[in-house]
Copies of this chain bind each other. A is one copy, B any other.
Amino acid sequence: MSAATDISAYMDRLGRQARDSAATMAAASTAAKNRALLALASRLRAHTAALADANGLDLAAARASGLAEPMVDRLKLSAQVIETVAEGCEQLAAMPDPVGEITQVKRRPTGISVGQMRVPLGVFGMIYESRPNVTIEAASLAIKSGNACILRGGSEAIHSNLALWQQVQGALADAGLPPTAVQLVETTDRAAVGRLIAMPAHVDVIIPRGGKGLIERIAAEARVPVIKHLDGNCHTYVDAQVDLDLAVTVTDNAKTQKYSPCNATEGLLVHADQAAAFLPRIGAVFAAKGVEMRCDARAKALLAAVPGATVVDATDADWDTEYLAPIISVKVVDALDEAIAHINRHGSHHTDAILTTNHPNAMRFLREVDSASVMVNASTRFADGFEYGLGAEIGISTDKFHARGPVGMDGLTSMKWVVLGQGETRS
């Protein structure tokens, strides 16, 4: 399968099979979909050793190619990772079926009743890197939401993904559902991605997960809608009226509970009225945890004296940067307006929080900050499908169109109109 025409024909075949099985999945009973999810959980647990063997091939290749150990770690299908994704399948099975839900049925003056029914989008294409557990997360969300999907994982995880996929196909067959509802692209040829994102007849939406560069490239070249997750330059803003203890606890959690997630706070804004009281306290916390503070002049003046603190001047670029590291930008602002304007200009419209006891300010922040998640008195780290009660997430959207923020099963569906009449005609 070296020639581009072969790849193209191969992808077209996957596309046709996905389209065909999407119709079956859309009409599948809740019981059958849940059976497939529970079968998948059992199979993953029963085949943990075989999965580890396949994963071992990827790990060895990764180490041989000189991949850094933290990256190798992300590839690992440990027994604990397997157990976590198996539990995820069981949790999805226990959730209500989104498909077929009919809402908002209202009687119109003409006599017809008009409502909306939730239905699957059809076929989604998923493009991802490293972590092979995404294969199971995507497959299980596809099954429960009644969609078909075509999965394209990274070449560094190909053996792991193939082994996982084998269990997915088995689980679908166990439940009497078409194994082609979830297909894995078996070639690591990059031409497959180019074709996957340009088959509007077969694929309804593309969900890329990976670095910003990958996602921007896919969005630029795709011929179908893309649910984009670009960067997470998230902010926490400490307002003029605030519970200082709460502000220290929440800001600490938002920055330091984990440095790598996209919902970690990267920028701290502090109202001038609280700067002298708040900044030395949070500065001491950051100093103890080795978090570097990149400051404007006023913040620096208050933080430089904190024992052990690493305090440097922020450059213009800092306000726009997602560090994903023990670094935070810090700026003192004179008003809520300035905080909102800064966030809307420099943030990435992902997740931003205000810490305040002032109700009108809380409401203005919620309304005027143009981000997928806006929070009052909570850690930005909560921006997550599981924390929001979605059961699982296929990604986090930084777009406004279709789905914003954590995308769960509802984001893989759309609403069609349902009209119930008794012979009404239009005049």
Binding site for B on A (CB under 8 A): 23, 26-27, 100, 106, 108, 110, 112, 114, 117, 119, 121-122, 204-205, 220, 223, 225, 243, 246, 249-250, 252-254, 257, 344, 353, 366-368, 370-379, 381-383, 387-389, 400-406, 414-427
B106 and A400 within 8 A (CB):
no
Beyond A405-B416, A417-B405, whether A382 also contacts B112 by CB under 8 A is: yes
The closest CB in chain B to the CB of A114 belongs to B388
Beyond A368-B27, A389-B106, A401-B402, whether A373 also contacts B421 by CB under 8 A is: no
A382 and B424 within 8 A (CB):
yes
Beyond A23-B344, A108-B389, A367-B100, whether A400 also contacts B414 by CB under 8 A is: yes
**What distance in Å separates the Cβ of A322 from its nearest Cβ neighbour in chain B?**
18
**Among the listed B23, B205, B246, B376, which residue makes an inter-chain contact with A419, where contact means beta carbons less than 8 Å apart?**
B376
In the bound complex, residues from chain B placing their C-beta under 8 Å from that of A110 are 382, 387
Complex Cα spacing A403 to B23, Å: 20
In the bound complex, residues from chain B placing their C-beta under 8 Å from that of A389 are 106, 108, 114
A426 and B382 within 8 A (CB):
yes
Given contacts A257-B427, A375-B419, A378-B419, 7 further A-B contacts (CB under 8 A): A246-B423, A253-B426, A373-B417, A382-B421, A404-B414, A404-B417, A405-B417
Complex Cα spacing A368 to B372, Å: 33
**What distance in Å separates the Cβ of A274 from its nearest Cβ neighbour in chain B?**
16
B401 and A414 within 8 A (CB):
yes
User: Looking at A250, A371, A417, which has the most chain B CB atoms within 10 Å of its CB?
Assistant: A417
28 intermolecular pairs with C-beta atoms under 8 Å apart:
A23-B344, A23-B370, A26-B368, A108-B389, A114-B388, A119-B370, A121-B400, A122-B370, A243-B423, A249-B423, A249-B425, A250-B423, A252-B425, A253-B425, A257-B425, A257-B426, A366-B418, A373-B418, A374-B416, A378-B420, A378-B421, A379-B426, A382-B426, A383-B417, A388-B417, A401-B414, A405-B416, A405-B417
